Amino acid sequence: MDPALEPQQNPRKHITRLKVIAIVLTIAGVGLFAYFVYAVGFYEIYDGVTRFGLAGFAVIVTLYFLRICTRAFAWKLSVFEPYHLRFRDTVPAVMMGEALSATIPLGILVSGTAKAIAVRKRIPLVAGLSSVATENLFYSLVTGILLVSGSLSLLRSFAVDEGVALTINILIGVLAVLMILGIVMVLRQWHFASETMEWLYQRGILRRLLENGRLDVRLFENLIYGFYRRYPGRFIPIFLLLVLYHMLGITEVWYILSRISDMYPSVLNAFLMESVSRLVMVLFKLIPFMIGVDEAGAQFVGETVGLAAGVGVTLAIIRKARILFWTAMGMALIVKRGLTFTEIAREANITRAKISEQE
């Protein structure tokens, strides 16, 4: 085989492996979902859903729309001048990206591109992708803080199995180190990640994987550092908007628990439920709608904090219905604009090639 062709073929092989992993995880998730429905009891879950009702569903649909708006506004603030986006541009784009991210096993790889394509009539595609990447970094930081806070609260407030406690402590340590390193890298503008990849590449280590990857990471670092230098005043507003995003998620959990549980829910319980849900999303993003694994996480926290049997699973199923609703709205927008997954994937590859050429 011509060695010059290897860098071009390797990404396809990498995607194929991810597809296989995603399919296996999805099948396992479906099996896990069926198990929890069987273990809790279909009629008990049905009773909880019925108690929640259409009025309750309308409330959480509205709450999630507010969450979409917070991320849309945070993205709007992440756009570099001379370009800018209107709020009415970013809201439907976020809906489209979230729909793809939830539905397709590899949706996380194309959701950002879908957002940028949705606003390409307003700003160039590369500028759109840059702003999406910037907003995603803030989102990752705030989500990391949520996960660490939730994990610490769970360990301090409730009795947890030693094996689980050890796993959570390791997770806390890893997340804390990554967040601190990320903040220091931005403040000092270190090209630590790309320099490490370049060092490995020059020594023939993981050359096929790093052929394009090291260039993408270098561009990502430059974008973030450039944003920090030019718009330091936007950091706090974007950060607070994404904190609000998670607070609305906690409010949603608290509201659902208040309608399906016989016990008056505490804010702490809702906070723990939401933080575990975020953790499940991070770890199992390849599984569409997080089927099975979300129910498992919610049931674990529900049992740990002393909620009635089946409340956690019912909570996860109700939230899944809300995801389905907004996914349908996002898909409708995609169809209305005449976009296809093939086009989105093609644009992602073309943009990646252009980025590599620029570097």
DSSP string for 9-59: HHHHHHHHHHHHHHHHHHHHHHHHHHHHHHHH-HHHHHHHHHHHHHHHHHH
- pLDDT band at residue 249 using 50, 70 and 90 as cut-offs: very high
The closest alpha carbon to 314, from 271, 259, 235, 274, belongs to: 259
Give the model's confidence band at 91: pLDDT under 50 very low, under 70 low, under 90 confident, else very high: very high
CA separation for the pair 276, 121 (Å, rounded): 38
Element (H, E) at 276: helix 267-283
Dihedral through CA 148, CA 154, CA 155, CA 158, nearest 10? 170
pLDDT over 70 (residue 167)? yes
Comparing 47-56, 253-262, 310-319, 331-340, which segment has the lowest mean pLDDT? 331-340
Question: Cα(15)–Cα(9) distance, rounded to whole angstroms?
Answer: 10
With CA atoms as reference, report the closest residue to 224 among 101, 132, 89: 132
pLDDT band at 195 (very low <50, low <70, confident <90, very high): confident
Three-class SS of residue 109? helix
282 and 275 in contact (C-beta within 8 Å)? no
Q: What is the chain's mean pLDDT, rounded?
A: 82
Answer positive or negative: Cα dihedral of 283, 288, 293, 297: positive
* pLDDT at residue 14 tops 60: no
Tell me what pLDDT residue 93 has: 94
In this prediction the pTM is 0.83
* Nearest-angstrom CA–CA distance, 41 and 43: 6
Burial class from Cβ neighbours inside 10 Å (0-12, 13-18, 19+) for residue 56 reads: middle
d(CA 299, CA 117): 38
In sign, the C-alpha dihedral spanning 69, 74, 77, 80 is negative
Which runs of E-coded beta strand occur in the chain?
none
Phi-psi sector, 53: left (phi>0), alpha (psi -120 to 50), beta: left
pLDDT band, very low/low/confident/very high, at 345 (cuts 50, 70, 90)? low
Q: Are 50 and 138 in contact (CB under 8 A)?
A: no
* Distance from C-alpha of 167 to C-alpha of 173, rounded to nearest angstrom: 10
- How far is the CA of 313 from the CAs of 11, 39, 56, 58, in angstroms? 38, 10, 17, 20
Q: What integer pLDDT is reported at residue 5 of this predicted model? A: 39
Please give the pLDDT value at position 1. 40
Per-residue confidence band for 332, with pLDDT thresholds at 50, 70 and 90: very high
Q: What is d(CA 132, CA 104) in angstroms, rounded to the nearest whole number? A: 19
Distance CA 51, CA 43 (A): 12
